[in-house]
Amino acid sequence: MTPEQVITAATGFGIFFVWLGITSAALGGPLRRQERARLFLDLLEGGLRDGQSPEHTIVDISHARDRALGPKFHLLAAHIEAGMRLGQALTKVPKLLPRRLTAMLRQ
């Protein structure tokens, strides 16, 4: 390959990786929020099956200090520990879950 062909190929790869990064960033947020919502509901379901309230379940899980749940989950738990009900606490952490799920849980 000539130096010009190498530069052209490298530029093409660079543009591709920039495009890939932008696409990943644009799609990653909503997908992560959906996955977090699934995990959140699974955890609540397990707590309810064990006879715990949603608030108690969230606080107990937060005390495990699992970083996979993210800082917003632990912020939600802190609001609950401060005396808020789940619906009130969800309004304080608006981007934790998709809007529809937040609205459903607030009722």
**Tokens read off for 44:** 């609540």
Q: b vs e for 19-36, b when ≥16 Cβ sit within 10 Å of the residue's Cβ?
A: eeeeeeeeeeeeeebeeb
| For the chain, domain boundaries | 33-106
**Cα–Cα distance between 92 and 76 in angstroms, integer?**
8
Model confidence at 2, in pLDDT bands (50, 70, 90)? confident
pLDDT at 3: 74
3-class secondary-structure state, position 64: coil
What does the pLDDT read at residue 13?
A: 61
> What proportion of the chain, given as a percentage, has pLDDT over 70?
79
Rounded mean pLDDT of 34-60? 91
At 36 the pLDDT is 82
Comparing 3 with 19, the larger pLDDT belongs to 3
| Residue closest to 80 by CA, chosen among 103, 56, 63, 52 | 56
Convert the pLDDT of each residue in 61-83 to its tens digit: 999 887 778 899 999 999 999 99
Whether the model pTM is above 0.75: no
Contact predicate 34/98, CB 8 Å = yes
- The pair of structure tokens assigned to 76 is 């939600």
